[in-house]
Chain A
């Protein structure tokens, strides 16, 4: 449990915005800005944040689906960003992604068997009867029936489509799975099925998850540790129990207090944040949260706070917690 499987150091991704006659770069979207964290083997790291904060870009940059600008992504001691295409392809087998929208992430012209066999074919893992056996095994494991494998995606409901996406992700026997909002497009009663499935698979295959979501309740249910992201930066990272009980960053605190909880009338005093999330094109100077922060100090508008460990395993980027 303690072995580190993935270590991300000072990762940066800026998307250029070009304009003018010569299409010079006029600005940049600071999608991921100097982010560092690690993921231990067989744990689930939850990554939460509001829309547009760079969660998805971070997930994709780690898998090299988007090229990073700077930083290091070390997977079991090897820097993914320095590997050549061939080496990377080999390692791809060990990592997979589950996408947010099962409706658009499955090719409508391929049968379920074709979809699941694609990673198997590309990596030459199995052929003929063995491949078929493997596909049937996967289809069954995610809770579908073997006869489903000759059907097309449109014949399935949203939850079933997501199961197919999970089967595809498992086809190469991955170690690390990046799940980007895997249940947010599903019905409430179907969400629980998928969340339970993900937990079972983790136990069975010893998977490590990076679970990206904006739903803090689901993240709490799934994760061992939680990282909170705001406008391209990590604000706080701590064991799930600590962060929900004792959030140290004002943003985390506000985020948690904003969630309506079913069945509780006497709620904690709610912190209502003013304004909305700033654009990552021109993030505010200093701490990115300072224009909305209820505890703002003069220093917050000038200096960017460092991401430091204030309690054991509890990292936070805030001037108030030094």
Chain B
């Protein structure tokens, strides 16, 4: 692990043991986030993005279990920490913004008191100062008239304001790592632009690292330095943000990029990825993308490709790029 690394995930496996079988939601994933870096995690629904995020927070619930691997954060393995120590980290050094802002707030408490709770738990602040701190932080995320609006209940906020308040809560304790799970998915584009602007500013002001999870490649492009593409529980490609759009290597990444309608490029027809995302209870053997892949070879259904380095900071898990191919 290098000096600059903040979070490093090694061979992580998170499985769900259901009546129908074992769902390998996250299977042998390696990832690294450096200090003050924004990593985008892209993938379609059900590919294990959110499970990966919850694994970092150790919030996986039964029937799910982290069955193997290491998650190194500031030189310590989070998976070996006691529940009490983990609780201090959640919301403190690592905090999270969820997809659905209106439902991840408690409707029976005011927005202000919910933010105050986070501050009380993690920081040594005197009672009198807590209120000032809440006002200050709401002001920072652009809530108008914060000393009045902090007394409002979540239902009195619009979707965009709720997301701002959630972000405020997540940032209230100056986290080292912010995990944002589809922070703009349910928002309108003009509100999305506001939230993205906010995140960009916060990154600069707070110097935090961000793990941004999403399926909208436009949003990812806006904020991220590096990007990891997930498919059916595996990270299949990892590189910096300009490379992914210029030279995507994995057939899935290539097809995904060509299948989205673009504002800047006119296309008569969209590229189609045949079939659907596999169910993880019984994923295809070998490379999990091979049944949908146009370059599939015999080896693809037999062996699992291991990630190989093909350029500076660019790894891809595909047999097309192993030494013999």
Which A residues lie at the B interface, using CB under 8 A?
A: 50-51, 157, 159-160, 187-193, 195-196, 199, 214-218, 220-222, 244, 254-265, 270, 272-273, 276-277
Contacts and interface: CB of A to CB of B under 8 A. Distances in A.
How would you classify the secondary structure of chain B's contact residues: helix, strand, loop or mixed? helix
Contacts of A272: 190, 193-194, 197
- Counting chain A CB atoms within 10 Å of each CB, the highest count among B193, B245, B269, B271 belongs to B193
Given A188-B215, A189-B256, A264-B264, A259 B277 contact: no
Contact of A199 (B197, B259, B269): B269
Interface in B218-246: 218-222, 242, 245-246
Contacts, number: 122
In this complex, the interface size class of chain B, counting residues with CB under 8 Å from chain A, is 35 or more
Contacts of B245: 262-263
Interface string B120-132: 0000000000000
Interface of B: 44-45, 158-161, 188-194, 196-197, 215-222, 242, 245-246, 255-257, 259-264, 267, 269-274, 276-277
A221 B196 CA distance: 25
14 contacts: A50-B190, A188-B44, A191-B259, A192-B261, A214-B189, A220-B261, A256-B263, A261-B263, A262-B262, A263-B245, A263-B246, A263-B257, A276-B160, A276-B191
Given A50-B190, A261-B264, A273-B190, A188 B160 contact: no
Contacts of B263: 216-217, 220, 244, 256, 259, 261
Contact of B220 (A50, A214, A257, A262): A262
B146 to A, nearest CB: 15
Looking at B188, B242, B269, the one whose CB has the most chain A CB atoms below 10 A away is: B188
Nearest to A216: B263
Contacts of B264: 261, 263-264
A259 B257 contact: no
A261 to B, nearest CB: 5
A187 B222 contact: no
Contacts of B159: 276
A195 to B, nearest CB: 6
A157 B276 contact: yes
A192 B260 CA distance: 7
B257 to A, nearest CB: 7
Given A216-B263, A262-B217, A272-B197, A192 B222 contact: no
Given A188-B256, A272-B193, 4 more contacts: A157-B276, A190-B276, A255-B190, A261-B262
A251 to B, nearest CB: 9
A188 B47 CA distance: 12
Contact of B189 (A50, A191, A222): A50
A216 B276 contact: no
A155 B62 CA distance: 26
Contacts of A214: 188-189
A192 B270 contact: yes
A192 B276 contact: no
Given A188-B259, A192-B259, A258 B192 contact: yes
Nearest to A273: B190
